[in-house]
Amino acid sequence: MQQLGMPLPNYDEIEEEMMAAGFRVVFEQDVEVRHDLSNPSDDIVKFFQLLTGRVESEVRAAIYDVYSRPNMHVSMRKLAIFTK
C-alpha cells in the first residue's frame, strides 16, 4: 500500500486517538503476519486498484517490487482490543 501512495496506519496514533475518545486498552498483542503476493490473483489486484485508484500495471509493478525482495512476506502488526 505504501508503494501505491497509501501509508499504513500508525498504531501509536490510533491508540492515542482512542484514548482521547475515552477508550482504554484491555488487550494488546504483537502478531506476525505472513503475506505472499508474489503471484497475486486478479481479485487481489482489483482490490488494490479499488483502494488506491491506480491502474492494474501500477499495482502489479508495486506488488512485484515489494515481494521480489527477500523476507518481505513477513511483517509485524499489533492486535488491540479497546473498551469504553
pLDDT at 76: 86
- Which residues span the domain enclosing 63? 2-83
CB atoms within 10 A of CB 45: 17
CB atoms within 10 A of CB 54: 19
Q: What is the pLDDT of residues 1-45, one digit of tens each?
A: 888 888 888 999 999 999 999 999 999 999 998 888 888 999 999
Q: Which residue has the higher pLDDT, 71 or 45?
A: 45
pLDDT above 90 (res 74): no
How many structural domains compose the chain?
Answer: 1
